[in-house]
Amino acid sequence: MTPSPQDTLAAGLPTYDDVAAAAARIGGAAFRTPVLTSRTADERTGGTLFFKAENFQRAGAFKFRGAYNAIARLSDDAKRRGVVAFSSGNHAQAIAYAGQLQDVPTVIIMPKDAPAMKVAATRGYGGEVVAYDRYTEDREAIGRRLSQERGLTLIPPYDHEDVIAGQGTATKELIEEAGPLDMLLVCVGGGGLLAGSALAAKALSPDCRIYGVEPEAGNDAQQSFRSGSIVRIPVPVTIADGAQTTYVGGKTFPIIQALVDDMLTVSDQQLVDTMRFFVERMKIVVEPTGCLAAAAALNGIVPCRGKRVGIIISGGNVDPKALAGFLAG
């Protein structure tokens, strides 16, 4: 047997076996989201597109998968003490909800000026919100202090073995349902979703080419991928707030380097056009970051003609007023 690229990955990094184990662990809790198709999208690209609709996942994004898996893997003692996360975005809500479903207390460190809707959603899922001043306080230091004082386990949004494995379960479901793919397009922030997706795709559809997609203004993952070491950039100005990370993770990057074929970028205008496409043609609400992968296909950034293409729609959490603004603009 020839060794697969996965066999060459270093110890301590997740493998496809971890994705499969995560799928069994989260099966009763995470939704098996639908795989959507669109004749218009197929006609426009010349390919056959399969959209994995994680905008319908619990708490509105794929992040629930990794959060639930990471919490489920804790010891009973650690579960009793609880977990802490810092995020103003989808990871916060995912941790709070996944904790509530497993009777694990959660503390979410959020900026004082986080959108009221997000704070309310996090509290609604049972999370204890600790507010900090993002201009004068260091959220990581607060997280460390809380984890020491209260024995909480810190669960990061992407650079964690169990988080990566959990995120990979969306692509596992996609390929099980759609069949083998020629190509898979996945958005990239810190790279947890892409790394997990790549593990699943290479195992279940070995000839599938895998592409990460980033906002043009924040192409740190593309720079890292092409230079071979992690590149850090200033906070990018883009409407894709879930991909405003300034560098990929130390655990996600080696997996991406080993398994991904290339990194692509799309503009904010292409994200807006894609949001409109989703509303008009497919009748679904997708947040800007969730449009990255589809935007690469619909704008011909990567040719899809004659190909079976998997596209991860990563989330649907967009403020209705902001959505209206994007669609009107």
Ligand X SMILES: *Cc1c(COP(=O)(O)O)cnc(C)c1O
Point out the residues that are catalytic. 63, 88, 214, 218, 220, 314
Site mask, ligand X, residues 121-160, x = CB under 6 A? ------------------------------------xx--
**Cβ neighbours of 144 (radius 10 Å):** 13
Tell me whether residue 70 or residue 79 sits nearer to ligand X (CB atom): 70
Q: How far is the CB of 8 from ligand X (least distance, A)?
A: 23
Rg (CA), the chain: 19
Phi/psi at 185 (5° precision): -115, 130
- Piece in contact with ligand X (CB under 6 A), picked from 16-24, 27-35, 173-181, 185-193: 185-193
Comparison of 66 and 99: residue with beta carbon closer to ligand X: 66
Site for ligand X in 203-242 (CB under 6 A): 242
Provide φ and ψ at 255, rounded to 5°.
-70, -45
Instruction: Give min distance, CB of 267 to ligand X, in A.
Output: 17
Residue 207, Cβ density class (10 Å: 0-12 exposed, 13-18 middle, ≥19 buried): exposed
The vertex-211 CA angle with 72 and 181, nearest 5°, equals 80
User: Is 61 or 203 the residue whose CB approaches ligand X more closely?
Assistant: 61
**Can residue 14 be called a binding residue for ligand X (CB under 6 A)?**
no
Please give the structure tokens belonging to residue 25. 């662990």
Nearest residue to ligand X by CB is: 315
Q: Supply 292's token pair.
A: 């990255």
* Binding string, residues 281-320; x marks residues near ligand X by CB under 6 A: ------x-xx-----------------------xx-----
209 by DSSP, 3-state: which?
strand
Among 101, 107, 188, 297, binds ligand X (CB under 6 A): 188
Kindly report the backbone phi and psi dihedral angles of residue 181, in degrees, each rounded to the nearest multiple of 5, phi listed first.
-115, 150
CA–CA separation, 9 and 78 (whole Å):
29
Q: Which stretch binds ligand X (CB under 6 A): 5-13, 71-79, 115-123, 182-190?
A: 182-190
Q: What share of the chain is helix, strand, coil (3-state, %, to 5)?
A: 50, 15, 35
The least CB distance from residue 87 to ligand X, in Å, is 9
- CA quadruple 83, 102, 157, 297: dihedral, nearest 10: -170
Residue 171 engages ligand X in binding (rule: CB under 6 A): no
Binding site for ligand X (CB under 6 A): 61, 63, 89-90, 157-158, 187-194, 242-243, 245, 287, 289-290, 314-315
